[in-house]
Chains A and B, each alone.
Chain A
Amino acid sequence: MKPSRLETPPSFASWLLRAVTPEDDRDDVLDELTDEYVRERLARGDAAARSWYRQQVLRSLFPILLRRFTLTSRSRYRVSMRHRLEAVLYDLSYALRQLRRMPAFTATVVATFALGIGMNATMFGIVDEMLLRPPAHVRAPDEIITLKAGSAARGFRQVTLNYPTFVAVRDKASGFSQVAATDDINVPLDRGDRATTLSGTLVTAGYFDLLGVKPERGRFIRADEDVVPLGAAVVVISHRFWMNHFAGADSAIGSKLQLGDRVFTVVGVAPQGFTSLDFAAPDVWIPMSSAGAMHFMGRDWATQATGTWLRIYARMKPNVPPDRAADDAMRVAREAAPAAFFTRPGSEFLAQPVMVARAEAQGASRRVTLLLGVMSLVVLLIACSNVANLLLARGLRRQREIAVRLALGVGRARLIGQSIVESVVLSTLGGVAALLVATWAGALVRAAIFGDIARPDAVIDPRVLGLADESPRRREDDCVGQPRHRRTPRTDA
Chain B
Amino acid sequence: MTSGDLGELELFTLLAVHHLGGDATGLSIRDEIRRRTGRAVSVGSGYATLGRLTDKGLLRVRIEPARPQQGGRARKRVQFTAAGVRVLGESVQSLNKMLDGIVLGSR
Number of interface residues of A (CB under 8 A): 19
**Residue B45 lies at the interface, judged by CB distance under 8 Å to chain A:** yes
* Residues of A with C-beta under 8 A to B43: 29, 32-33, 36, 56, 60
Q: Identify which of residues 51-80 in chain A touch chain B, using a CB-to-CB cut-off of 8 Å.
A: 56, 59-64, 66-67, 71
* Residues of A with C-beta under 8 A to B73: 31
Closest to B49 in A: A63
* Residues of B with C-beta under 8 A to A63: 42, 44-45, 47-49
- Closest CB of chain A to B107's CB: distance in Å? 34
- Closest CB of chain A to B47's CB: distance in Å? 5
Out of A21, A35, A56, name the residue touching B42 (CB < 8 Å): A56
Q: Kindly state the separation between the CA atoms of A227 and B47 in the bound complex, as whole angstroms.
A: 96
Q: Kindly state the separation between the CA atoms of A32 and B50 in the bound complex, as whole angstroms.
A: 14
Q: B48, A67: Cβ atoms under 8 Å?
A: yes
**Residue B76 lies at the interface, judged by CB distance under 8 Å to chain A:** yes
- Closest CB of chain B to A81's CB: distance in Å? 23
A-B CB proximity, top 10 nearest: A60-B44, A59-B42, A63-B48, A67-B48, A63-B44, A64-B44, A63-B45, A60-B42, A33-B43, A32-B27
Q: A59, B26: Cβ atoms under 8 Å?
A: no
* Residues of B with C-beta under 8 A to A59: 42, 44-45
**Residue A360 lies at the interface, judged by CB distance under 8 Å to chain B:** no
**Please, what's the 1-or-0 string for B32-45, where 1 marks a CB less than 8 Å from any CB in chain A?**
00000000001111
The contact sample of 9 A-B pairs, CB cut-off 8 A, is A28-B47, A28-B76, A29-B47, A32-B27, A32-B43, A36-B43, A60-B45, A60-B47, A63-B47
Q: Identify which of residues 89-126 in chain A touch chain B, using a CB-to-CB cut-off of 8 Å.
A: none
Q: Which of B26, B42, B52, B73 has the most CB of A within 10 A?
A: B42
Out of B27, B45, B51, name the residue touching A36 (CB < 8 Å): B27
Chain A binding site: helix, strand, loop or mixed by DSSP? helix
Closest to B76 in A: A28
**Residue A25 lies at the interface, judged by CB distance under 8 Å to chain B:** yes
* Residues of A with C-beta under 8 A to B42: 56, 59-60, 63
Q: Kindly state the separation between the CA atoms of A62 and B27 in the bound complex, as whole angstroms.
A: 19
- Closest CB of chain B to A57's CB: distance in Å? 8
Q: B27, A64: Cβ atoms under 8 Å?
A: no
* Residues of B with C-beta under 8 A to A29: 26, 43-44, 47
Q: Which of A36, A60, A61 has the most CB of B within 10 A?
A: A60
Q: Kindly state the separation between the CA atoms of A35 and B73 in the bound complex, as whole angstroms.
A: 12
- Closest CB of chain B to A21's CB: distance in Å? 8
Q: A67, B27: Cβ atoms under 8 Å?
A: no
* Residues of A with C-beta under 8 A to B45: 59-60, 63
Q: Identify which of residues 45-69 in chain B touch chain A, using a CB-to-CB cut-off of 8 Å.
A: 45, 47-49, 51-52
Q: Kindly state the separation between the CA atoms of A71 and B25 in the bound complex, as whole angstroms.
A: 21
Given A25-B51, A67-B51, check contact A32 B44 (CB 8 Å): no
* Residues of A with C-beta under 8 A to B48: 63-64, 66-67
* Residues of B with C-beta under 8 A to A56: 42-44
* Residues of A with C-beta under 8 A to B44: 29, 56, 59-64
- Closest CB of chain A to B17's CB: distance in Å? 15
Closest to B27 in A: A32
Q: Kindly state the separation between the CA atoms of A21 and B48 in the bound complex, as whole angstroms.
A: 10
Closest to B50 in A: A25
Closest to A24 in B: B51
* Residues of A with C-beta under 8 A to B25: 32
- Closest CB of chain B to A222's CB: distance in Å? 80
Closest to A65 in B: B44
Q: Kindly state the separation between the CA atoms of A61 and B44 in the bound complex, as whole angstroms.
A: 7
Q: Kindly state the separation between the CA atoms of A61 and B49 in the bound complex, as whole angstroms.
A: 14
Q: Kindly state the separation between the CA atoms of A36 and B76 in the bound complex, as whole angstroms.
A: 16
Q: Kindly state the separation between the CA atoms of A36 and B49 in the bound complex, as whole angstroms.
A: 18
- Closest CB of chain B to A194's CB: distance in Å? 93
Q: Kindly state the separation between the CA atoms of A59 and B26 in the bound complex, as whole angstroms.
A: 16
Given A31-B73, A59-B42, check contact A25 B27 (CB 8 Å): no
Q: Which of B25, B44, B76 has the most CB of A within 10 A?
A: B44
Q: Kindly state the separation between the CA atoms of A382 and B104 in the bound complex, as whole angstroms.
A: 85
* Residues of B with C-beta under 8 A to A25: 47, 51
- Closest CB of chain A to B40's CB: distance in Å? 9
Q: Kindly state the separation between the CA atoms of A144 and B48 in the bound complex, as whole angstroms.
A: 71
- Closest CB of chain B to A1's CB: distance in Å? 15
Q: Kindly state the separation between the CA atoms of A29 and B76 in the bound complex, as whole angstroms.
A: 11
Closest to A28 in B: B76
Given A56-B42, A59-B42, check contact A35 B27 (CB 8 Å): yes
Q: Kindly state the separation between the CA atoms of A36 and B41 in the bound complex, as whole angstroms.
A: 12
Closest to A60 in B: B44
* Residues of B with C-beta under 8 A to A36: 27, 43
* Residues of B with C-beta under 8 A to A60: 42-45, 47
Q: Kindly state the separation between the CA atoms of A35 and B48 in the bound complex, as whole angstroms.
A: 18
- Closest CB of chain B to A363's CB: distance in Å? 75
Q: Kindly state the separation between the CA atoms of A64 and B76 in the bound complex, as whole angstroms.
A: 18
Q: Kindly state the separation between the CA atoms of A62 and B48 in the bound complex, as whole angstroms.
A: 10
Q: Kindly state the separation between the CA atoms of A33 and B25 in the bound complex, as whole angstroms.
A: 12
Out of B26, B47, B76, name the residue touching A67 (CB < 8 Å): B47
**Please, what's the 1-or-0 string for A449-467, where 1 marks a CB less than 8 Å from any CB in chain B?**
0000000000000000000
Q: B26, A32: Cβ atoms under 8 Å?
A: yes
- Closest CB of chain B to A3's CB: distance in Å? 13
* Residues of B with C-beta under 8 A to A66: 48
Q: Kindly state the separation between the CA atoms of A28 and B75 in the bound complex, as whole angstroms.
A: 8
